[in-house]
Amino acid sequence: MKISLSPSWELTTDHAASSHGFPVLLNRDTGTAYGPRDLVMMLCPSWGFVPASDAVRRLAKMKQLDEEELALVGRFIKGTKGDERQ
């Protein structure tokens, strides 16, 4: 599954760095994949370096996402794999 969050960023499970269906934040310009706790420099310089989970949260707020996409965003933000009730 892929969710385009901006022209340069996507949340995806279709990348080699994705493990067991857990999404990664992918920088399309560089091909670099990030986990929720990795620091990334986002589009807006005023954001500075932020954890990838915060970047996904901010970018997702600007998109209209369906239920499945929202669930994937939620899993990434929470940094959990599999059942979120654990």
Give the C-alpha separation, 81 to 13, whole Å: 12
- Confidence class for position 80, pLDDT limits 50, 70, 90: low
CA 80 to chain centroid: 12
pLDDT tens-digit series, residues 3-56: 999 999 999 999 999 988 899 999 999 999 999 999 998 767 787 899 999 999
Q: Are 3 and 12 in contact (CB under 8 A)?
A: yes
Q: What is the pTM of this model?
A: 0.86
Does the CA dihedral 13-75-24-9 come out positive or negative?
Answer: positive
